[in-house]
Amino acid sequence: MREPMNYRSVFTSGLFTGQVAIVTGGGSGIGRCTAHELAALGARVALVGRKLEKLATVQAEIAAAGGTATTHVCDIREEDAVRATVQAVLTAHGRIDALVNNAGGQYPAPLASISAKGWDAVVRNNLTGGFLMARECVTQWMATDEAGEVDEKGRGQGGGAIVNIIADIWGGMPGMGHSGAARAGMLNFTETAALEWAPIRVNAVAPGWIASSGMDNYPPEMRTMIRALPKLVPLRRLGTESEVAAAIVFLLSPAAAFISGACLRVDGAAPNAKRVWPEVGSGGSTAAFDGFHLATKPKVLEG
């Protein structure tokens, strides 16, 4: 019998055996990749997203690779839906050890043209939803004692780990100010939660320009700009989904047991490029790591 293809993780086999991890936005991009790596390392993964078809596809991929995943349709912007979804995960798996707060989304627009409705939609998607998911994981499981009671201040009694996915927000986010404001808020929430909820560990990962399926969601007029991005990165390339997933998995792992309230950038030093130092990198690059056996190149980068 032919062995199933599997994720080529740099982490030790069975690292998360017996653990349960929720991955929001698990139907595509970085979320899909991270879900695959966690499942390959032994975790039972709860895939959360708004579209069942996409979640079901990833669930089938994970099963084909020998892993275990369940699907949970949820609009993370809706409080009651989030509460019910976390309850459903607990019903299906009996515990929650990790939350990867990856779901999010935005659209390009200058600040002057963003309506109140558009602003609210992006902030709820990239900030409020992540807060709601984290709060419910903490109050329904991570901060409960053996009797199921929660500390009056929501502080962790048992533990667990949360990783919030933000973005390259350093120096602002021109053209996507609504998303930049929300992601910056998520970083501040991460730092606050690391204090209030300890010993639950709460960290953030800030991906830079990553060659992911999300690039194909932007309008055609952005194609030239997207294809030119590697020239603005000191490491002279785009990142891979696997490189972001590896950072997430590290922060969830025992190796990060004394890391909380931190933000790990995965951006090739792009925010460090300065106009007073016109040379961006020396022209060379590091070899890309791509352990995801099902990774595909975004269409916008082809040709």
pLDDT per residue as tens digits for the range 241-291: 999 999 999 999 999 999 999 999 999 999 998 877 878 877 788 999 999
Spell out the domains of the chain, with CATH numbers in brackets: 20-268 (3.40.50.720)
- Of the listed ranges 20-29, 67-76, 208-217, the least confidently predicted one is 208-217
Burial 283-296 (b: 16+ CB within 10 A, else e): eeeeeeeebbeebe
Query: Average pLDDT in the 132-150 region?
Result: 87
Lowest mean pLDDT among 46-55, 98-107, 226-235: 226-235
Strand partners of residue 23: 47, 100
Total-model pTM: 0.93
Residue 105 tokens, joined: 């989304």
Q: How far is CA 12 from CA 42, 178, 206, 253, 260, in A?
A: 10, 39, 24, 10, 22
Confidence at residue 213, expressed as pLDDT on a 0 to 100 scale: 80
Phi, psi (degrees; rounded to nearest 5) at 158:
-110, -55
| Per-residue pLDDT at 279 | 81
pLDDT at 267: 95
Residue identified by tokens 């990833």 is: 58
- The pLDDT > 90 percentage for the chain reads 77
Tokens 């939350």 belong to which residue?
Answer: 99
Helix (H), strand (E) counts: the chain: 8, 7
